[in-house]
Amino acid sequence: MSAVATETADRILDAACEIIAEEGIDEVRIARVATRARASSGLVHHYFSTREELLEQALVHSFERAGDDRFGDESTQPPGTSLETFGLAIRECLPFPGEAEREWVLWVELWLRAVREPALREVAAKLYDRYRRWLAAMIRAGAESGEFELQRDAGEIADIAMALLDGAGIRAMVADPAMDVEAARALVARTLAPLVGVEPEALA
């Protein structure tokens, strides 16, 4: 695909993702996506033959981009101390208002569709693998620098972190009065801190 064609396809997929995040997957129509992408319906059909193909590719596009932006290469850690980085990661992985909340809406849509459509499970599994490797590398880096004193294997702590972030994040997303996003952040920090040998306040 040429650079222009790739840019056009990406613009269409971005438009579809915006509609999914704002109004839900059932509201995605070829004509609406075309309008949002400043394209014709015929052009959308040129790249995506059916609505279902467009929806599937939009979710794949969104999560591959999110993975590149957030997880990157697990061998490359951002600047700052491991403690600062891990605390920031906890925040970034919860549905705080803005881009993170939008990504969470798309996450939920992917979960639901992957349950019904086995073909999408591989997409979810690949992103979860990147997510786990990203967290585990961050935790190992803290142990190697002497900032963390791990009580369990780094991969196991990463699994616990993912379970906490997903579970508490869903409650925050559905506006559970007992678990807003700040309470979710505090819960995750309070639970993970002993596993890496730091005080909860340091992560929160």
- pLDDT tens track for 150-160: 999 999 999 99
- Angle, CA 93 vertex, CA 102 and CA 174 arms, to 5°: 55
Among candidate residues 25, 52, 30, the one with its CA nearest the CA of residue 117? 52
State the first-to-last Cα distance of the chain, in angstroms, to the nearest integer.
45
Whether 165 and 63 have beta carbons less than 8 Å apart is answered as: no
The residue among 204 and 8 whose pLDDT is bigger is 8
**Quick one: pLDDT at residue 55?**
82
Is the pLDDT at 147 greater than 60? The verdict is yes
Contact residues for 175 (Cβ-Cβ < 8 A; gap 6+): none
How far, in Å, are 4, 12, 20 from residue 26 at the CA level? Answer: 29, 17, 8
Alpha carbons 124 and 107: distance in angstroms, whole number: 9
The radius of gyration of the chain's CA atoms, rounded to the nearest angstrom, is 19
Instruction: Name the residue type at position 13.
Output: L
**Quick one: pLDDT at residue 19?**
87
Domains parsed from the chain with CATH numbers: 1-57 (1.10.10.60), 72-203 (1.10.357.10)
Is the pLDDT at 120 greater than 80? The verdict is no
